[in-house]
Amino acid sequence: MTEEKKRGRRKALVGVVVSDKMQKTVVVVVERLVRHEAYGKMVRRRTKVKAHDEDNRCSMGDKVAIEEARPLSKEKHWRVTEILQKAII
């Protein structure tokens, strides 16, 4: 039985790291498009989430994939699964 089947489906998102100043934690901004209720125009919505980065591999500007995890602290409920694109310095 695979790990995903044991634990069930987990939400997966892609975002950009905006802060890496904490130990083993990064702040990731996830952007989504939502239709405005009254006007019908597509509007960008941003959500900041804290994600666990065990090896401190992520740096600011990196594009990362994150997945839902058990609560790791008061605000940290996500885990970095892979770095999709490193930031251009």
Whether 11 shows a pLDDT value over 60: the answer reads yes
DSSP-derived letter for residue 5 is: H
Residue-level pLDDT at 8: 77
Whether 1 shows a pLDDT value over 60: the answer reads no
pLDDT in tens, 51-79: 999 999 999 999 999 999 999 999 999 99
Domain 9-85 class in CATH: mainly beta
The whole model's pTM is what? 0.86
Query: What is the DSSP code string of 16-51?
Result: EEEEEEETTEEEEEEEEEEE-TTT--EEEEEEEEEE
How are beta strands 42-52 and 12-22 bridged, if at all?
unpaired
User: In the chain, pLDDT over 70 holds for what percent of residues?
Assistant: 92
